[in-house]
Structure 1
């Protein structure tokens, strides 16, 4: 039986995580190691300054006390899979998109990054929503569940489609399953960012800031199929992501600049 290790960055009680467990249980043995609290936008971080504790909630289901998604994968592979590694690691179903440069912030994507660093195929899957989560309340995770089940079955029937140190980043459009146009392979788009930090004051008058969520906007890239465009057009976006962040096209120009 195939072994599937899953985690998320929304915490072990997340409805998206429960939906992922339900979708993957028919396909193999599912082992869950998830953060004890929400760790959204924690990036690819490991906890080095304090001890971490596995807390067993039920068979094959653990929460990692105050751990990040990367911690969950790193320690699960050390504690739970000493001899036989999982066949795949899947992170999600994230509540909200992980597209464009947001991938660098994403705790969801970071778990898939950690998996491929350890030589195990990794997938990050996110449910895009509209109008402050209204689409999730209306449509649930049905399309996301169907999509990840189809892709995992395809992988188990053959091979993982990417070479080492590359993972799949999947974003699900906020539409009913029957309206989905299918899968589309994309590149990561370019997000438009705004400064959204609200200023508040505590009861003693001390100023503090709360970083908010900016609107989902992206740069116009006509002629290119990006994750943003695919989701906006009603497709499930599948983006191959590599950990090599070198700007290879700039090496020669940089060399010339250095030598001037």
Structure 2
């Protein structure tokens, strides 16, 4: 099943009533989950499921500049998640209900890491990378290629998760499950009150 299903099943079938984990860590995902990518990330969705059940949760992902290169270890990721999990378990969870931490690890060694940076979700730049092919039987199929890790700069120049990892920081982004565009509620009220003239 999906990562969300795994969390749901473990909480509702494997744990005895009254006993819940102190922390859920989803990942490590091989490949980043930054910007709008979290909206369809299994790693992020498992952390979402955790906080829906009131359990502090973290999604952690390893940025890969080259998906075909695995000549590195996960040492920075291991050290980072250890420090963050220990801080949560020994102190407090820094977020409110229905909020989780989304962590992205740059593809560098621990000695080259500049530290942790609190970030916002960047604006992911997507391209068209769907290719049509034919198998040996002549049947058509589509192959979804890998989009390059590209993003657009924000006008207000705030630090994004993309910029942080590019500059050698571990990115920590607080994520809320409330997707409501609150600054548009009044706009929609005005729009709908105008009726539906055809």
Secondary structure of the corresponding residue to residue 231 of structure 1: helix
**Structure 1 segments of 4+ aligned residues over 3 angstroms from their partners:** none
> Structure 2 CA distance, aligned partners of 1:204 and 1:108?
36
Question: What pairs up with 1:94-133 in 2 under 5 angstroms?
Answer: 94-133=29-68
Partner deviation per Cα, 1:89-119 (whole Å, 9 max, x = no partner): 1011110000000001100111000000111
Structure 2 residue runs of 5 or longer lacking an equivalent are none
Shift of 1:121: 0.8
Find the partner of 2:158 among 224, 231, 240: 224
Question: What pairs up with 1:165-180 in 2 under 5 angstroms?
Answer: 165-180=98-113
> Structure 2 CA distance, aligned partners of 1:130 and 1:254?
41
Cα-Cα RMSD: 1.0
Partner deviation per Cα, 1:7-65 (whole Å, 9 max, x = no partner): xxxxxxxxxxxxxxxxxxxxxxxxxxxxxxxxxxxxxxxxxxxxxxxxxxxxxxxxxxx
Structure 1 residue runs of 5 or longer lacking an equivalent are 1-66
Shift of 1:133: 4.2
Alignment TM-score, normalising by the size of structure 2: 0.94
Which structure has the greater CA radius of gyration?
A: 2
Name 1:252's counterpart in structure 2: 186
Find the partner of 2:6 among 68, 72, 77: 72
Shift of 1:181: 0.5
> Structure 1 CA distance, aligned partners of 2:88 and 2:130?
42
Secondary structure of the corresponding residue to residue 132 of structure 2: strand
Which moves more between the two structures, 75-84 or 173-182?
75-84
Find the partner of 1:90 among 25, 29, 35: 25
> Structure 1 CA distance, aligned partners of 2:163 and 2:127?
20
- Do the aligned partners of 2:21 and 2:55 also contact (CA within 8 Å) in 1? yes
Partner deviation per Cα, 1:117-172 (whole Å, 9 max, x = no partner): 111111000000112242xx333100000000000110111111101100000000
- Do the aligned partners of 2:22 and 2:55 also contact (CA within 8 Å) in 1? yes
